[in-house]
Chains A and B, each alone.
Chain A
Amino acid sequence: MPGELQIPQWEWWIVLYFFTGGIAAGAYLVASVIELVGEEADRPAARMGYYIAFAMLPIILIALILDLGQPLRFWHMILYRNTFLPWPVWDSPMSVGAYALLVFGLFSTLSFLDVLVETGRLKWSLPRLKYSSTPRLIYAMIGGLAAFFLASYTGVLLATTHLPVWADTPMLGALFLASGASTGVAAVILGLVATGKDLGTSIVKLKRLDIVALLLELVLLVAMLLWLGSSADILLTGISGILLIGGAVLIGLVIPLVLELFPGFQRFRGTTRMLVGSALLILLGGLILRTVVVLGGQGLL
């Protein structure tokens, strides 16, 4: 590390959290947009988004807790140990992020329960008696905003340091948001294919959204590397460089985009194999991106 800076030694638990947090946020975003403006035919996609966001919560929680030097003190993030009262630190993305995660966890759980009631899997008399779609619109609004925050604050958190790769560009939060969206949508597509739902037009819309997210991610990544200039060397050389260019860019962005946009691949488009393949590549690329930024940024690769 340059000068005398020390690194936080955030390793695989944090990579896992950034990855699954991005997926949860991206999946919830899709679901909430469908909830708010979409049509009935897209509801299976919305439900899948809610399922995926909810399924990520335990992984997120476990990764975040186990990364701490003192895991049993995880609640110190929310309540000040000496007063047992909440005490946010507005300059600290880690603090604000912890509260945002709480909100996101709450609302994605509510949305999940709502889906269970909607599909008749949960037969509690009270929610059924009073069942209406109004609460879920509220969940989608608040949860959707929290999801935007969740997808991007992890990048802002890394930037709130002095490590060159993290701190010398303003784009890390934006990049993570685009990556969260692309991986979240990919996860929803994968989930829909896996459960053998009649995909209808939803899949076309999901793919369209994914293409925009991937393009945005590619542009932001290139812009970030250019902005960093020589600070980017640590990301572009050695194992980091191979992973970033070969993995995050080629596998995760370029190949899925070419498959989707290049006329030569027209006839495969929409086949199950292609849908699954693309989604898996995008997810793998997202994981590699987080690995390179988190571990490579600390010089740990």
Chain B
Amino acid sequence: MPKGMFVDTSICIGCKACQVACKEWNDLDGEPDDFAVQPDGRLKAINFTGNSYDNTGRLTATNWRHVRFIERGSSLEGNMAWYMMSDSCKHCTHAGCLDVCPTHALMRTDLGNVIVQQDVCNGCRMCISACPYGVISYNKSTGRVNKCTLCDDRIHNGLETACAKACPTDSIVFGDVDELRSQARQRVSTLRQLGYSKAQIYGDDDVLGGLNVFYLLLDDPEVYGQPANPQLPQRNLIPNSVWSVGSAILVGLAALVSFRTRLNRNEEVEA
């Protein structure tokens, strides 16, 4: 029975308790690029995004959770508002990262979560661009990659994830994926009745076989920086191989014609 999380973005207040809890539990460092050391030795934050209240920006090797702030309206017109979305690894049922990892460092546990075995990963970075969500991040200081583990250690000891535990509005709920899905469907119909016509689930079975960490969004996925129709990286294997074989046949034939003894003898006579 896969475990996962339902993230109801409609009740997220952007408090970032989940981000802090994640850093705490997983013992993750501060962002090296986000701080400068001042002469007195204290840290000064230097890396604000500058164009948004979203000052985390993106997922990194030490930010496994990212509360997105998506500005709506404008402060000049006095109708400024946000969509919030607490983003992380989706623990996809069809996980591109896992499919291309040559060392089997990426693996799925009995609870359905996808983890990076740190003692196996050799830092080849094949997985990074294979994830359609840009989740996996390279950690220069360890020479390996990192991402959310769905709190592998906690959930295998009967606890919920640290982020779900910390979320004050229960915007993040941990549990059995099946139960969470029916909970989400109810919530969508409630919201639709309330007039949120675009309320939708992102990550049902239509997306990569189902995302174990899935979302209720109030608008289209693109508005939240999520691809509407994510693909698996190996979709390109067959077409690319077919073209490669075609190219190989042409080169091979050219080589045969160039070097084949009998053919050349004929040509020499002609010349």
Contacts and interface: CB of A to CB of B under 8 A. Distances in A.
Interface of A: 1, 3-10, 29-30, 33-34, 37-39, 42, 67-70, 73-74, 76-77, 80-82, 87, 89, 91-95, 98, 148, 151-153, 155-157, 159-163, 166-167, 170-175, 177-178, 181, 201, 205-206, 208-209, 212-213, 216, 220
A82 B120 contact: yes
Given A6-B136, A160-B236, A94 B243 contact: no
Interface in B93-129: 96, 99-105, 117, 119-126, 128-129
Interface stretch (B26-34, B42-50, B225-233): B225-233
B236 A77 contact: no
Contacts of B131: 6, 162
B254 A212 contact: yes
B15 interface: no
Given A34-B259, A173-B240, A213 B254 contact: yes
A69 B134 contact: no
A67 B125 CA distance: 10
Interface string B223-264: 001010001011011011111101110111011101111001
**6 shortest A-B CB distances, which residue pairs?**
A69-B123, A69-B143, A95-B102, A174-B247, A161-B129, A173-B244
Nearest to A159: B236
Nearest to A92: B100
Size range of the chain B interface in the assembly: 35 or more
Interface of B: 58-59, 96, 99-105, 117, 119-126, 128-140, 142-145, 225, 227, 231, 233-234, 236-237, 239-244, 246-248, 250-252, 254-256, 258-261, 264, 268
A33 B252 contact: yes
Nearest to B239: A170
Contacts of B105: 76, 81
Contact of B233 (A42, A161, A171, A209): A161
22 contacts: A6-B131, A8-B138, A9-B125, A34-B259, A37-B259, A37-B261, A39-B259, A69-B121, A70-B144, A73-B103, A73-B121, A80-B103, A80-B104, A92-B126, A94-B100, A152-B247, A159-B237, A161-B129, A161-B130, A162-B233, A201-B264, A205-B259
Given A33-B255, A70-B122, A92-B101, A5 B243 contact: no
B123 A216 contact: no
B143 to A, nearest CB: 3
A267 B129 CA distance: 51
A129 B260 CA distance: 30
B128 A172 contact: no
B2 to A, nearest CB: 21
Contacts of A206: 258
Nearest to A173: B244
A170 B242 contact: yes
A70 B236 contact: no
B100 A87 contact: no
A98 B100 CA distance: 13
Given A6-B129, A92-B100, A209 B240 contact: no
A206 to B, nearest CB: 7
A78 B184 CA distance: 43
Nearest to B265: A39
Given A77-B124, A89-B100, A209-B255, 10 more contacts: A42-B259, A69-B138, A73-B103, A74-B122, A89-B102, A148-B252, A160-B234, A173-B241, A175-B247, A177-B251
Contacts of B104: 80-81, 87, 89
A172 B236 CA distance: 10
Contact of B260 (A9, A37, A92): A37
B123 A160 contact: no
A205 to B, nearest CB: 4
B258 A4 contact: no
Contacts of B225: 3-4
Contacts of A37: 256, 259-261
B103 A77 contact: yes
A12 to B, nearest CB: 14
A281 to B, nearest CB: 20
